[in-house]
Amino acid sequence: VTGGRGPYNWQISGPSWLTLSSASGASITAAGTPPETGEFPFTVVVTDASGACREFACTVRVVVPPLQITGAESCPTATVSRTAPISVNIAGVGGREPYSWRLEGPAWLALSSNSGRSVSVSGTPGGSGPFTFTATLTDAAGTPAATFSCTFTVDSITPPDVQVSGL
């Protein structure tokens, strides 16, 4: 506050989750944790020692952050051995939990879980060549889905040269 005569008294009206850091002083903070998305109007009134008042009407707009999938660094970049299991760890951020996961790709890959913040995609290759899987993340708020695709190459097993002698 500038002007007027201290001490200053503050009041807030609006959503019950929004509170003031103090009821008096030259500077205050309004803060809280919204239970849902939407627009929440509130009013702050400051009164000085002489009874003069100023009213400030505001609106807080709460939005759900977009869904994102992290874990690109765990996607194999080198050729994978056909006999070695692979595992790619991914995690969801943003949106609103609970999360749901869906996997599209080779039948030999599976999700560790269909829900939760972090999951792994793992399996033992069932063939050689390039393979791609796509994990899709959805949330409880209906936020637009996030996808993560991983392409990797599985080597082919070359039979060893066998020489038979002495027959």
Cα distance between residue 89 and residue 112, in whole Å: 10
Output the pLDDT for position 109: 95
Q: How far is CA 100 from CA 3, 114, 157, in A?
A: 54, 6, 36
Residue 81's Cβ-count burial label (10 Å; 0-12, 13-18, 19+) is: middle
Please say whether the beta carbons of 40 and 60 come within 8 A. Answer: yes
Output the pLDDT for position 25: 83
Cα distance between residue 160 and residue 79, in whole Å: 19
Nearest to 139 by CA among 103, 104, 94: 94
* pLDDT tens series, the chain, 167 aa: 778 888 999 999 999 999 999 888 888 898 999 888 889 999 999 999 999 999 999 999 988 889 999 987 778 877 878 788 889 999 999 998 999 999 999 999 999 999 999 999 999 988 888 999 999 999 998 999 999 999 998 887 665 666 777 66
Output the pLDDT for position 24: 86
pTM of the model as a whole: 0.65
Within 10 A of 133 (CB to CB), how many other CB atoms are there? Answer: 20
